[in-house]
Chains A and B, each alone.
Chain A
Amino acid sequence: MVSVFAHAPGPSRRPREDLRRRLTAAILGGYLLASAWSVGIAMAWSAAAPGDSLRAADGVLIGAMSALVVCVLAVLWSFAAPSVRHAWAGLFAPAVILALLSILVAP
């Protein structure tokens, strides 16, 4: 019986509190990182040719389309990280770096 369901989702072995914190990190941290990513990529892309509205629009599209993938990866990371602290660190640190990048390259 165990072998049949070994590869299917079973009852969680994680403490409920850990699960709740990881879900919070996945939803809030994932959105935070995706938002920072979308802005950072858009700003960096448009910074190569300031004043070019076509390039700026391309940056916005690339940033948003790739941010959706980043959000998925962030959610996966939230559950794959060894601890909730690691999960938040892995989400928050790149978000801060991207936010700083978007401020630095702002026109």
Chain B
Amino acid sequence: MRPGLRQAMADLHRWAGLGPGWLLFAVFLTGSLSYFRPEISMWTRPEICAAEVVDQTAALRSAQAFLERNAEGASRWLIELPTPRLPLTQVMVWQPGGPGPHYRHELLDPRAGTVVQARPTFGGDFFFYFHFDLHMPWRLGRFLVGFAAMAMLVALLTGIVVHRRLFADFFTFRPHKGPRSWLDAHNVFGVLALPYHLMIAYSGLVILMMLYLPWGADRLFAAQPALFLAEAGQSIVPPPDPGPAAGQSDLAPLLTEADRRWPGEAPGRVDVYWPGRAASRIVVTLGDDQRLTHAGERLVFDGAGAPLPAEPGQVRSAPARLERVLYGLHLGRFGGWPVRVLFFFSGLAGAAMVGTGLILWTAKGHAGRLAETLNLAVIGGLPIAVATFFWANRLLPTGLAGRAILEGGCFFAGWSLAAVHAVLRRDAVAWRTQFAGVATLFITLALLDGVLTGRGLSSGDRLFAGFDLAFLAAGCGFALLARSCRARRGGA
């Protein structure tokens, strides 16, 4: 390879990695947490003690009864059935218009079909939506994350070209050598999970590709955008006219048909378009737990429960299946705990790869003051924000108005405080202070959670014990980082 090309790729690697690097760090960290979205949702609602999974048919029956009482006139019901990871029924309701809210989301007790009495919180959904939406308006966050994902793909490929001794460097680590140590760490974290990094960046782009590149669908499906989604196997075409009232048929027997079609596998959700109307459509979708494809199998029924096998909405072609497989790969729900844990640590390796790359750049003295401040504000500040979110979940009064939004506000307030601190001080002491702050927040949370909820390590509750241990591990890890900052300062 000519030297000029390698230098060109080095330039590109630097700008593709540095430009959106801080954003990528945030996406990797919160995306990794999202692999435990249902578990976080349960942990953030300690009032719920749902240890056993209720039969799905009973859960569907109770959810239907709830919706018939509370969601009359809706244009769509979506019922997410309970799973071992989230043993609650989730119902979502869309109203066609009028003065009330157009969308409602409730968590139901799967036995009684009543709204669960728990503190209002976004739970794991907060991190899940943040990692691709950044909680920004007008889909701005999705465009920014898409740009960052594309830059990451470029940075990964150019990184392979630039680091010509990729695998030799993987086994090289020279501690306490300044920039060399950061370079070694950057190489290790990059190579360690390189296939995962490539997969997660590309599949993330594929999930949102119709937002970034809608032009083909615009040309070919301008008159019927819903038909494209149906032919691509992503949804059905909801009937435009609901027709007259006809009474909603019993949904539970449809699970028997699903069981016959998918023996040994559990349905994940039931959609009802125009419930209780003559043109109603019912869609039963297979769960993601055992298959690589996300929502890759559907059964469509009319309002009376008669199957409609020819209705568009099935995954019927190789390209549609490939898109669904990439979606499923990104979510990582298919392989149980081993895959989830592997993906979680691979995601953290991605955050570490980005973080060490950013620090390497400043350690070599090429970056300005802004980059140094951003490094501290994001790499030290985001873990503070995450810990603040968990603390806010425990400390905010349960009856507080707008409590769920305030929890999110605490996340951003914690991050902002860390950013202000980073602006005021950018030296090793500031890094040590922020890492020590994260360590204190996580360790005290692990120790006090049992006191606050009565479900700590000693209670024998596996979920809460797992979280406490994870908080302890995170706290100890950050304490070691703080200690290493002190050692370096002493050495200096």
A residues with a Cβ closer than 8 A to B are: 4-5, 7-14, 19, 23, 26, 34-35, 38-39, 41-43, 46, 53-54, 56-65, 67-68, 71-72, 75-76, 79-80, 102, 106
Q: Do A72 and B216 have beta carbons less than 8 Å apart?
A: no
Knowing A7-B162, A75-B154, the reply to whether A57 touches B206 (Cβ < 8 A) is: no
Contact with A along B319-347 (1 / 0, CB 8 A): 11011001000000000000000000000
Q: Do A8 and B183 have beta carbons less than 8 Å apart?
A: yes
Q: Do A10 and B9 have beta carbons less than 8 Å apart?
A: no
Collect the chain A residues with CB atoms within 8 Å of residue B193's CB: none
Q: In the assembled complex, how far is the CB of residue B23 from the closest CB belonging to chain A, in whole angstroms? A: 15
Considering the chains assembled together, what is the distance between the CA atoms of A64 and B459 in angstroms?
A: 51
Knowing A8-B163, A23-B15, A76-B158, the reply to whether A53 touches B227 (Cβ < 8 A) is: yes
Q: Do B7 and A13 have beta carbons less than 8 Å apart?
A: yes
Considering the chains assembled together, what is the distance between the CA atoms of A25 and B172 in angstroms?
A: 37
Collect the chain B residues with CB atoms within 8 Å of residue A72's CB: 150, 153-154, 157
Q: In the assembled complex, how far is the CB of residue B302 from the closest CB belonging to chain A, in whole angstroms? A: 21
Partner of A43, one of B163, B180, B219: B219
- 11 contacts across the A-B interface (CB closer than 8 A): A19-B11, A39-B215, A42-B217, A42-B219, A54-B317, A57-B228, A60-B216, A64-B210, A64-B213, A65-B319, A75-B12
User: In chain B between 206 and 247, which residues have their CB closer than 8 angstroms to a CB of chain A?
Assistant: 206, 209-210, 213, 215-217, 219-221, 227-228, 231-232
Q: Do B220 and A4 have beta carbons less than 8 Å apart?
A: no
Collect the chain A residues with CB atoms within 8 Å of residue B162's CB: 7-9
Collect the chain A residues with CB atoms within 8 Å of residue B14's CB: 9, 12
Considering the chains assembled together, what is the distance between the CA atoms of A5 and B227 in angstroms?
A: 54
Q: Do A79 and B11 have beta carbons less than 8 Å apart?
A: yes
Max chain A Cβ within 10 angstroms of own Cβ: one of B5, B8, B361: B8
Considering the chains assembled together, what is the distance between the CA atoms of A79 and B215 in angstroms?
A: 26
Q: Beyond the given A57-B228, A75-B12, please list 16 additional residue pairs across the A-B interface where CB-CB is below 8 A.
A: A8-B183, A9-B17, A9-B361, A11-B366, A38-B215, A39-B216, A53-B228, A54-B316, A57-B227, A57-B232, A57-B319, A57-B320, A60-B220, A61-B323, A68-B213, A75-B150
Counted as pairs of residues, one from A and one from B, with CB atoms less than 8 Å apart, the total is 135
Residue total for B at the interface (Cβ-Cβ under 8 A):
53
Q: Do B221 and A56 have beta carbons less than 8 Å apart?
A: yes
Q: In the assembled complex, how far is the CB of residue B354 from the closest CB belonging to chain A, in whole angstroms? A: 14
Closest B residue to A37 using CB positions: B213
Considering the chains assembled together, what is the distance between the CA atoms of A54 and B436 in angstroms?
A: 57
Q: Do A9 and B11 have beta carbons less than 8 Å apart?
A: yes
B165 contacts chain A at the CB level, 8 A cutoff: yes
Collect the chain B residues with CB atoms within 8 Å of residue A76's CB: 9, 12, 154, 157-158
Q: In the assembled complex, how far is the CB of residue B228 from the closest CB belonging to chain A, in whole angstroms? A: 5
B205 contacts chain A at the CB level, 8 A cutoff: yes
Max chain A Cβ within 10 angstroms of own Cβ: one of B153, B216, B220: B216
Closest B residue to A42 using CB positions: B216
User: In chain B between 6 and 43, which residues have their CB closer than 8 angstroms to a CB of chain A?
Assistant: 7-17
Closest A residue to B321 using CB positions: A61
Considering the chains assembled together, what is the distance between the CA atoms of A58 and B209 in angstroms?
A: 14
B202 contacts chain A at the CB level, 8 A cutoff: yes
Closest B residue to A60 using CB positions: B216
Max chain A Cβ within 10 angstroms of own Cβ: one of B8, B158, B220, B326: B220
Considering the chains assembled together, what is the distance between the CA atoms of A65 and B317 in angstroms?
A: 15
Collect the chain A residues with CB atoms within 8 Å of residue B231's CB: 53-54, 56-58
Considering the chains assembled together, what is the distance between the CA atoms of A44 and B240 in angstroms?
A: 31
Collect the chain B residues with CB atoms within 8 Å of residue A41's CB: 216
Considering the chains assembled together, what is the distance between the CA atoms of A61 and B317 in angstroms?
A: 11
Collect the chain B residues with CB atoms within 8 Å of residue A35's CB: 213, 215
Q: Do B213 and A67 have beta carbons less than 8 Å apart?
A: yes
Considering the chains assembled together, what is the distance between the CA atoms of A12 and B366 in angstroms?
A: 10
Q: Do B13 and A56 have beta carbons less than 8 Å apart?
A: no
B164 contacts chain A at the CB level, 8 A cutoff: yes
Considering the chains assembled together, what is the distance between the CA atoms of A80 and B8 in angstroms?
A: 6
Collect the chain B residues with CB atoms within 8 Å of residue A42's CB: 216-217, 219-220
Collect the chain A residues with CB atoms within 8 Å of residue B7's CB: 13
Q: In the assembled complex, how far is the CB of residue B288 from the closest CB belonging to chain A, in whole angstroms? A: 20
Considering the chains assembled together, what is the distance between the CA atoms of A53 and B320 in angstroms?
A: 13
Considering the chains assembled together, what is the distance between the CA atoms of A53 and B162 in angstroms?
A: 44
Collect the chain A residues with CB atoms within 8 Å of residue B180's CB: 4
Considering the chains assembled together, what is the distance between the CA atoms of A7 and B172 in angstroms?
A: 14
